[in-house]
């Protein structure tokens, strides 16, 4: 994972409002996505284990360790539990599948380049997709 340890800050979004509206997303999450520019970092722990850190305004709001290819349960701040599975395709594409408590599934595809990340988000039950762009933070 050549992008291990690099930090990426969100710079812009396309169609995020439409996707969030169509999926009845939690208002706190919507507000956070619209107002704050999160910084994400994926760090290889060992061969197939990765640590995700998410910071907003310099404060760590999430740290999660996951094993590629294994479904894991994670409790959200609102108490609901989601099931997530990550997979790595090639050297630059990290895929994530999140199964929500309501039975819907969200799909995240992160494509890493030397200087940025393009993340495409789709949800069951809608034809919409959103694209979120991140740049490397030095």
CA 98 → CA 2, 5, 15, distances in Å?
A: 24, 23, 19
Are 130 and 18 in contact by the 8 Å Cβ rule? The answer is yes
Please, what's the b/e burial string for 42-56 (b: 16 or more CB within 10 A of its CB; e: otherwise)? Answer: bbeeeeeebebeebe
- Check residue 24 and give its pLDDT: 60
Q: Report the top-level CATH class of 7-137.
A: mainly beta
pLDDT in the model for residue 107: 92
pLDDT tens per residue, range 17-50: 777 776 666 566 566 666 678 899 999 998 899 9
Domain boundaries, given as residue ranges, for the chain: 7-137
**Ranges of the chain with pLDDT below 70:** 22-35, 77
Q: Tell me the pairing of strands 93-99 and 59-67.
A: unpaired
- What is the three-class DSSP state of 43? strand
pLDDT at 128 (0 to 100): 83
Q: What is the pLDDT of residue 33?
A: 62
pTM of the model: 0.86
């Amino acid at each position: 994972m050549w992008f291990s340890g690099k930090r990426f800050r969100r710079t812009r979004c396309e169609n995020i409002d439409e996707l969030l509206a169509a999926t009845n997303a939690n208002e706190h999450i919507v507000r956070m996505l619209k107002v704050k520019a999160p910084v994400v970092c994926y760090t290889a722990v060992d061969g197939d284990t990765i640590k995700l850190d998410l910071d907003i305004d310099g404060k760590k709001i999430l740290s999660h360790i996951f094993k590629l290819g294994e479904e894991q349960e994670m409790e959200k701040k609102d108490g609901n539990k989601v099931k997530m599975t990550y997979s790595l395709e090639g050297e630059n594409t990290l895929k994530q599948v999140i199964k929500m408590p309501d039975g819907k599934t969200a799909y995240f595809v992160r494509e890493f380049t030397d200087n940025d990340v393009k993340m495409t988000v789709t949800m069951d039950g809608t034809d919409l997709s959103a694209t979120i762009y991140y740049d490397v933070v030095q």
